[in-house]
Structure 1
């Protein structure tokens, strides 16, 4: 699990490809201080496992599933990459719950200055993702924990403070560039439970109605 607070900007050193499988070697400093084989590191918001490392870089595998659902497939040598190690159990929780499981990619449709902030408008590739994007809620873009400023049926905006821009690879991105999107895991679980509870399971081995949460259940118990 991660918090969405980027620790450093790494650089892609080398890429190995075999079809939709990749092997990425990333140069870094901060995250190398205590790296071990099998560690989880969020690479542009994608939770990946360290399979090799030396004093200045680490290597991770990218599976076809991750290749198809993230912007890692477009990475080339020299690209800046947001990095965050997995959260320590005793650490401060400064961002929000981030799994490193990308839902979809998005295209930056607009980048504009607003006083001391930079506004990014994002168009998700999968428009169904917009159901989980709530104004003033949380979202992760390329591994960065951000607050949603506005949202409509097809896009969302975030407001970036100078510190966040300076400390992340988002500073190098503008209109036409892609970002990895992970929506709030709590919203996804609630949505799934509502769907799960509204379906019958008469065709299942156990038979009868499938128990679970539903809109009527929430209303009956004072939650709606």
Structure 2
């Protein structure tokens, strides 16, 4: 389990396809603290560390992951938001994030508000109950954010300068895909109400 509080960014230094799998080799500030079999969220996608060599480590994404997320569009040199899994004695600063991306969204607008940025994202409404609510939580590329405006198939979020600079949001522009994980509590409530 994760909280959506980004620890660092990793740089993609290698990509290798093997059958339908794609192996990503990355470099990050805490590679020396990782261990094989450890879960790390990459742009909000929970992946397992399968190899460590020097200051780089490798994770593997299967076809299902590549089809549901923006990881399939990564190229060498891209930056990825990272979060290690939550420790039992840690503060819970974000919201409940599973590392299971529901779908991708498309950035429609980035508006500079002279001290913050407003991002608007559109997504395909799903039967699974992927919804947002104003002032509720949404996970975008692994980042726990608060919804400003909520529509049937879109939402907006306001970004403070620290989050804009410290995560890969500063590279997101209109037309780009982002990974979305909708609030798990909202998904359960929506499912129960359907019954």
Moved over 3 A (4+): none
SS in 2 for 1:187: helix
Q: Tell me what 2:47 maps to.
A: 48
SS in 2 for 1:88: coil
Residue 191 of structure 1 deviates from its aligned partner by: 2.0
Aligned positions, number: 194
CA 1:133–1:19: 2 relative to 1, 3 Å: farther
2 CA distance for matches of 1:12 and 1:99? 23
Deviations 1:111-135 (A, max 9, x none): 01113110000011x2227752111
Q: Tell me what 1:179 maps to.
A: 178
Structure 2 stretches lacking a partner, 5+ long: none
Q: Does 1:82 align with 2:81?
A: yes
1:201-212 aligned within 5 A: none
- Which structure's residues are more often helix, by fraction? 1
Considering Cα pairs closer than 8 Å and 6+ residues apart, tell me whether 1 or 2 has the greater RCO: 2
Residue 19 of structure 1 deviates from its aligned partner by: 5.0
- Which structure's residues are more often strand, by fraction? 2
2 CA distance for matches of 1:131 and 1:35? 33
Report the structure number with the largest CA radius of gyration: 1
Q: Does 1:10 align with 2:10?
A: yes
Q: Tell me what 2:70 maps to.
A: 71
The question of whether the paired residues in 2 share the 8 Å contact of 1:130 and 1:155 is answered with no
Q: Does 1:141 align with 2:140?
A: yes
Residue 151 of structure 1 deviates from its aligned partner by: 1.3
1:1-224 aligned within 5 A: 1-18=1-18, 20-30=20-30, 32-124=31-123, 126-128=124-126, 131-195=130-194, 198=195
Residue 154 of structure 1 deviates from its aligned partner by: 2.3
Structure 1 stretches lacking a partner, 5+ long: 199-224
SS in 2 for 1:67: helix
SS in 1 for 2:192: helix
What is the Cα-based RMSD across aligned positions, in Å? 1.4
Q: Structure 1-normalised TM-score?
A: 0.83
2 CA distance for matches of 1:26 and 1:112? 31
2 CA distance for matches of 1:33 and 1:118? 34
